[in-house]
Structure 1
Amino acid sequence: MEKFYPEASFLNYAKDMTAYVENDKINLADCGFDPEVLINNTTYPIPIVERADMPISLELDFYETKNTLVRNPETVELAYDKLESVIYGHRNALKSSTGQKAAHAYAPASNTVDTPILITTGSDNGEGFKRLVPEDILKLKKKYDLLDIPFENRYLVLDPNHLEDLILFDLKSFKDITDFVNGQPNRFAGFNILQYTKTPKYNVSTLTKLPWGAIADSNTTFGSFSFSSEEVMKCDGSVNMYERINDPEQRATIVGFDKRFLAMPIRNKALGAIISAKI
């Protein structure tokens, strides 16, 4: 049986900017100010202000798998195609890594007006954390409302622990919350609801996201994250497979992959998180 890999369905709702990738780089621009609106103006001519945009060139992240060796005698003796299974594993390992890196990028780094981070307020879950309750999501909704984030663009990606909290809170109301209806996610409190098993970790004391690859400590907690689909992007670059067939020294075939991919917030706005408070 093949291994299971986390499904990063939230990436389906990010802006796809692959079309702007050239030579594994994406060229964007940091937009300047929005124009000032005059109401009942009586002074003419209206002032002219030039907007200065700053060009940005970003190199896509480079993902590589370690090579896998498949000895030729195995391909004859085994009842399944081991080489094809190995290739499938490499593809899914890349898919899993890009999804985890994207989730980490989309989650807010710290608690600000544009990137609110809230903590759960429910009862003890028996593991030292306060449960997520619907009121916590409603508080996040209010933060998004005050930022005038369009309702249809709001997505909340639930950590498995938080999904369990909601189901235990009201089985009838939340048992199907992450199912899709007519190809669209269910909604609650103005958010399209998704789930992901590899959500980023946070420092519960400082309300800051742990750096990518950081080791958890006593202040580490888990959380769910949210975003506006207009404020996050993804883009794919080149994908390469490397193979050495019938290597005479190893008496084997050796395969490996690499892939270019980038996922990140566009303006660091309309990102949010609800992290679990410690008891």
Structure 2
Amino acid sequence: MTFPLDEYTTDPVLIPNADTVELSYDKRESVLRQDKLKLQDDVALDFVFNWSPAAAQCIETTGAEIDAYTDKATGKRKGICKADVLGLMTKFNNDDIPQEGRYLLLDAQMYSQLLNSLTENENTAFLASADAQNGILGKLFSFNIMMRSRAALYTAAKAPKAWSTAGAATDLAAGLAWHEQSVCRALGEVKAFENEGDATYYGDIYSFLVRAGGRIMREDKKGVIALVQGTPAAG
């Protein structure tokens, strides 16, 4: 299987010579660390976008009503609850997806909503199954649950949407469920560029570049499902 790799870069950053002399902390290390983290976040969000399936592979959340929280979104949405994860498990089981190797990525608010829907005993069992070294916060209904500040994003028509595009009032936050054999990705090494002692800008200039790409592997898209926010009926 082949697929194109995109090129991700950071804007060149200038560390003026005066900063390296006058500041008590290592500004260069601080700025470059933040730049690399931003680059890694951009790549991760694009992996999620590239793995996000079309409407046919979307399931709506069914939990309690909440306020929309993605950029520019307005109105009410339905939160996530444990019944939604059970529904994902049922769908994966019906599609003969292996039990081991299932993952569910949620955004921070969805993760809180899910925990809130669990009983005290369920919450304790969930947290006890965590694998912090691999970023797994717990296991529920066969899924290894992971969390980041943002997960997937969809339009009102259930089409995947990149976070880099402008937000809309009708946007829908979404979690993403997949099996490890149903998706693939490629990630190169981060390459650093530097121009120390630049005579034009009186300082050091740095930037980073990495090549990465990903896609859903199966043509039938089985083993990948988006858990998209439902919208309450107009009353």
Task: Report if aligned partners of 2:103, 2:143 keep a CA contact under 8 Å in 1.
Answer: yes
Flag the structure with higher helix content.
Answer: 2
Quick check: which has more Rg, 1 or 2?
A: 1
Counting only pairs closer than 5 Å after superposition, residues 1-279 of structure 1 correspond to structure 2 as 28=1, 56=2, 58-111=3-56, 116-125=57-66, 128-170=76-118, 172=120, 173-174=122-123, 177=126, 180-181=130-131, 183=133, 185=136, 186-204=138-156, 206-211=157-162, 213-267=164-218, 268-279=221-232
Unaligned runs of 5+ in 1: 1-27, 29-55
Q: Report the alpha carbon displacement of residue 63 of structure 1 after superposing the two structures with TM.
A: 0.7
Q: CA RMSD in A?
A: 2.2
Q: CA separation of 1:88/1:213 partners in 2, compared to 1, >3 Å: closer, same or farther?
A: closer
SS in 1 for 2:44: helix
Q: Deviations over 1:188-235 (max 9, x none)?
A: 11211111222121123x222225633232321111110000111122
Q: Deviations over 1:223-273 (max 9, x none)?
A: 111000011112222532221111122211111111111222222331101
Give TM-score scaled by structure 1 length.
Answer: 0.71
Q: Deviations over 1:18-44 (max 9, x none)?
A: xxxxxxxxxx2xxxxxxxxxxxxxxxx
Give TM-score scaled by structure 2 length.
Answer: 0.84
Q: CA separation of 1:176/1:257 partners in 2, compared to 1, >3 Å: closer, same or farther?
A: farther
Q: Percent identity?
A: 24
Q: CA separation of 1:69/1:98 partners in 2, compared to 1, >3 Å: closer, same or farther?
A: same
SS in 1 for 2:66: coil
Q: Report the alpha carbon displacement of residue 145 of structure 1 after superposing the two structures with TM.
A: 0.8
SS in 2 for 1:250: coil
Q: CA separation of 1:70/1:133 partners in 2, compared to 1, >3 Å: closer, same or farther?
A: same
Q: How many residues align?
A: 219
For residues 221 and 249 of structure 1, what CA distance do their matches in structure 2 show? 46
Unaligned runs of 5+ in 2: 69-75
| Equivalent position amino acid for 1:269 in 2 | K
For residues 208 and 133 of structure 2, what CA distance do their matches in structure 1 show? 32
Task: Report if aligned partners of 1:167, 1:175 keep a CA contact under 8 Å in 2.
Answer: no
For residues 199 and 210 of structure 1, what CA distance do their matches in structure 2 show? 11
Q: Deviations over 1:102-127 (max 9, x none)?
A: 1111221322xxxx311112222355
Q: CA separation of 1:211/1:69 partners in 2, compared to 1, >3 Å: closer, same or farther?
A: closer
Task: Report if aligned partners of 2:46, 2:162 keep a CA contact under 8 Å in 1.
Answer: no
